[in-house]
């Protein structure tokens, strides 16, 4: 109530009789009220119109007094007036009658009406006084609620709510579809309706979390349908609060994840199968190369004897060529055997202290002997440098890099080798002026069985040399990498710790 109104009523009270005083106080209260207060005759003619009514409907007091109440009643609701007047005529009150009235500017106002009869001194009903309260706020709350209800009803995901005691209080159509129980069958039942017996314990945990105000996100579990089928699903549970913030229940959104789980299981199963096949393949490569090695060694031995006893020059050159090919074959078989050892984690290193310069010289000599065309030039000022590692494996790496440098530079005849020592590592490089490698492939060439597709159709290989080299260098705690430009050439580097 406005202060002015009160002061005014006190002033008036001092100078008037008791009944006059009462009336004056009432008038002041009406004038100051925030609620719309209107009175009218039984014929609907407006007899009073307070400032709040002016504010609500936009008509001033002078514009409405003497007019029919229908100026604020939407045409389609005009019948309500007859009902209200009917009640009033019988001396009854109309309490909180919710309806809609129309303002001067045509806007519709949702209101709650309370109407009381006005009686004359003989007790006859002569009119009605009504208090109207704007319920627009409540209306928007109601609208929000109905939007929510529509969302819940049309959701593809089951949405269920329940009390803290686990009693189901709402059950949407998607829940019906998933679990097979109708809304009527589910509401009022305990949530254990859909919980498999061995998972009943989960409910306690969920409820105690919810009661503590916590949300449960994407809890993966199983729930049982009416037909007894268990469905894998993911549940998100949120607390439901009443107007004062007290937690009174939980609402949960459920998502069927059986398809996802099936896909995951299928993937795991396939992966397992592939792994088994892969292990079998590695085992086979290991066995096969081992079996090949024995006859190769003996062929090689007999060829050596033959070469010693044959006197005919031509025949001996054939034998020597055969020996060379057998040697290549032996190296290939050894590489394959090494691969299966790496896969089985059985590649052993015989570590000792050795002179890296010596190993480099030996490897260069070995390859120079078989290749008159190539000039392999070592650039270094190191004459002797001790490193710790497996000299045979390191030689294998250097031979691999030199062999590649030769194979992948058919149009050139120059290969440069570098040996430098830095603070705590030794660095070895092999440079060719051959076909080179696309920069995007540089990261992949060290993978098992990887070959740069189509790039060098005339150069055959298995794609295992660099993989082995990478393994060996890494096992020595070193690094290996390549720098290259297609058409210009490549340099392969590796380091070994000092």
- Minimum CB distance to ligand ADP, residue 496 (Å): 20
Instruction: Name the residue nearer to ligand ADP (CB basis): 387 or 405.
Output: 405
Going by DSSP bridges, is the β-strand pair 375-379/414-421 parallel, antiparallel, or unpaired?
Answer: parallel
Position closest to ligand ADP via CB? 461
- Minimum CB distance to ligand ADP, residue 194 (Å): 59
- Minimum CB distance to ligand ADP, residue 470 (Å): 9
Separation between Cα atoms, residue 409 and residue 470, nearest integer Å: 21
- Minimum CB distance to ligand ADP, residue 428 (Å): 14
- Minimum CB distance to ligand ADP, residue 444 (Å): 9
Instruction: Name the residue nearer to ligand ADP (CB basis): 323 or 407.
Output: 407
- Minimum CB distance to ligand ADP, residue 308 (Å): 33
Name the 3-class secondary structure at 56.
helix
- The rounded radius of gyration (Å) of the Cα atoms in the chain is 48
Binding site for ligand ADP (CB under 6 A): 404-405, 408, 432, 434-437, 445, 450-452, 455-456, 461-467, 490
Instruction: Name the residue nearer to ligand ADP (CB basis): 219 or 450.
Output: 450
Instruction: Name the residue nearer to ligand ADP (CB basis): 490 or 495.
Output: 490
357: Cβ contacts below 8 Å, ≥ 6 apart = 380, 382, 383, 384, 385, 419
Separation between Cα atoms, residue 286 and residue 290, nearest integer Å: 6
Separation between Cα atoms, residue 338 and residue 341, nearest integer Å: 5
- Minimum CB distance to ligand ADP, residue 350 (Å): 24
- Minimum CB distance to ligand ADP, residue 403 (Å): 8
- Minimum CB distance to ligand ADP, residue 363 (Å): 15
- Minimum CB distance to ligand ADP, residue 377 (Å): 16
> Which sign does the torsion angle of CA 271, 274, 279, 285 carry?
negative
Q: Which two tokens stand for residue 320?
A: 């020597």
Q: Distances in Å between the alpha carbon of 416 and those of 142, 356, 407, 456, 496? A: 85, 17, 14, 22, 19
Strand order in 94-102's β-sheet? 46-49, 36-41, 125-134, 108-119, 94-102
Name the 3-class secondary structure at 66.
coil
- Minimum CB distance to ligand ADP, residue 494 (Å): 13
Contact predicate 479/425, CB 8 Å: no
Q: Which two tokens stand for residue 206?
A: 């969920």
> Which sign does the torsion angle of CA 328, 332, 337, 338 carry?
positive
Let me know how long the chain is.
498
Instruction: Name the residue nearer to ligand ADP (CB basis): 91 or 370.
Output: 370
Instruction: Name the residue nearer to ligand ADP (CB basis): 255 or 407.
Output: 407
Instruction: Name the residue nearer to ligand ADP (CB basis): 362 or 483.
Output: 483
Instruction: Name the residue nearer to ligand ADP (CB basis): 28 or 406.
Output: 406
Instruction: Name the residue nearer to ligand ADP (CB basis): 172 or 403.
Output: 403
Of all helices (H) and strands (E), which one includes residue 205?
Answer: helix 200-211
Helices (H), 96-163: 136-154
Task: Residue 35: count other Cβ atoms within 10 Å of its Cβ.
Answer: 17
Task: Residue 43: count other Cβ atoms within 10 Å of its Cβ.
Answer: 9
Instruction: Name the residue nearer to ligand ADP (CB basis): 53 or 452.
Output: 452
Instruction: Name the residue nearer to ligand ADP (CB basis): 166 or 436.
Output: 436
Q: What is the DSSP string of 101-117?
A: EE-TTS-EEEEEEEEEE
């Amino acid at each position: 109530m406005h202060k002015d109104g009160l002061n005014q009523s006190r002033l008036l009270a001092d100078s008037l009789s008791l009944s006059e005083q009462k009336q004056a106080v009432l008038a002041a209260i009406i004038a100051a009220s925030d609620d719309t207060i209107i009175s009218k005759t039984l014929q609907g003619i407006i007899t009073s119109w307070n400032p709040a009514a002016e504010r609500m409907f936009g008509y001033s007091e002078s514009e409405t007094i003497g007019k029919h109440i229908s100026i604020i009643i939407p045409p389609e609701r005009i019948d309500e007036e007859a009902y209200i007047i009917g009640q009033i005529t019988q001396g009854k009150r109309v309490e909180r009658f919710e309806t809609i009235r129309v303002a001067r500017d045509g806007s519709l106002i949702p209101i709650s009406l309370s109407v009381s009869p006005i009686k004359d001194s003989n007790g006859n009903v002569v009119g009605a006084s009504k208090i109207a309260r704007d319920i627009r706020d409540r209306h928007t709350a109601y609208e929000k609620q109905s939007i929510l209800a529509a969302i819940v009803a049309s959701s593809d995901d089951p949405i269920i709510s329940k009390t803290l005691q686990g009693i189901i209080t709402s059950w949407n159509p998607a829940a019906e579809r998933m679990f097979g129980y109708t809304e009527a069958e589910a509401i009022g039942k305990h949530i254990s309706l859909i919980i498999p017996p061995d998972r009943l314990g989960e409910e306690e945990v969920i409820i105690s979390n919810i009661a503590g105000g916590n949300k449960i996100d994407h809890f993966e579990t199983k729930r049982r349908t009416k037909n007894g089928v268990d469905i894998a699903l993911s549940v998100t549970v949120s607390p439901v609060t009443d107007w004062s913030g007290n937690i009174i229940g939980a609402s949960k959104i459920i998502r069927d994840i059986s398809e996802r789980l099936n896909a995951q299981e299928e993937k795991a199963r396939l992966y397992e199968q592939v792994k088994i096949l892969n292990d079998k393949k590695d085992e086979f490569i290991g066995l096969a190369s081992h079996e090949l090695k024995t006859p190769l060694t003996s062929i090689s031995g007999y060829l050596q004897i033959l070469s010693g006893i044959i006197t005919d020059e031509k025949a001996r050159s054939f034998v020597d060529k055969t020996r060379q090919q057998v040697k290549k074959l032996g190296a290939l078989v050894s590489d394959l055997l090494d691969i299966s050892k790496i896969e089985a984690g059985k590649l052993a290193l015989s570590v000792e202290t050795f002179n890296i310069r010596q190993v480099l010289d030996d490897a260069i000599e070995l390859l120079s002997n078989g290749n008159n065309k190539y000039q392999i030039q070592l650039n270094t000022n190191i004459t002797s440098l001790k490193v710790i590692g497996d000299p045979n494996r390191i030689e294998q790496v250097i031979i691999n890099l030199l062999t590649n440098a030769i194979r992948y530079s058919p149009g050139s005849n120059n290969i440069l080798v570098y040996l430098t020592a830095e603070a705590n590592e030794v660095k070895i490089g092999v440079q060719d002026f051959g076909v080179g490698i696309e920069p995007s492939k540089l990261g992949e060439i060290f993978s098992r069985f990887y070959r740069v597709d189509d790039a060098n159709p005339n150069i055959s290989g298995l794609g295992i040399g660099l993989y082995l080299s990478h393994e060996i260098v890494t096992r020595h705690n070193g690094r290996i990498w390549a720098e290259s430009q297609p058409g210009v050439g490549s340099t392969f580097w590796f380091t070994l710790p000092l």
